[in-house]
Amino acid sequence: MSRAFNFSAGPATLPESVLRQARDELLEWRDAGASLVELSHRGPEFMQVAAEAEADLRTLLSIPDDYAVLFLSGGATTQQALVALNLASPGQAADYVVTGHWGRTALKQATPYAEARVVASSEAGGFRDIPARGDWRLSADAAYVHYTANETIHGVEFREVPDVGAVPLVADFSSSIAAEPIDVSRFGMIYAGAQKNLGPVGVSVVILRRDLLERAGQPRAPIFDYAAHAKAGSMLNTPPSFNWYLAGLVFKWMLAEGGVAEFARRNARKAALLYAAIDGSGGFYRNEVAPAARSRMNVPFFLHDDALDPVFLDEARAAGLISLKGHRALGGMRASIYNAMPEAGVQALTGFMQAFQGRHG
> CA-to-CA distance for 88 and 101, rounded, in angstroms?
23
Annotated catalytic residue 211: no
Among 56, 95, 172, 225, the active-site one is 172
Please, what's the b/e burial string for 295-312 (b: 16 or more CB within 10 A of its CB; e: otherwise)?
bbbbbbbbbeeeebbeeb
Closest CA to 158 of 179, 185, 189, 188: 179
CA angle 132, 135, 138 (to 5 degrees): 115
Secondary-structure percent of the chain, ordered helix, strand, coil, rounded to 5: 40, 15, 40
- Decide: 300 and 330 in contact? Cβ < 8 Å: yes
Residues 6+ apart with CB under 8 A from 129: 122, 156, 289, 290, 292, 293
Polymer length in residues for the chain = 361
Q: Which one of 29, 129, 196, 253 is the catalytic residue?
A: 196
Report d(CA 161, CA 296) in Å as an integer.
16
Tell me, yes or no, if 102 is annotated catalytic: yes
Active site residue 172: yes
Phi-psi region of 88 (alpha: psi -120 to 50; beta: other; left: phi over 0): beta
Active-site residue identified among 29, 56, 95, 102: 102
- Catalytically annotated residues: 102, 172, 196
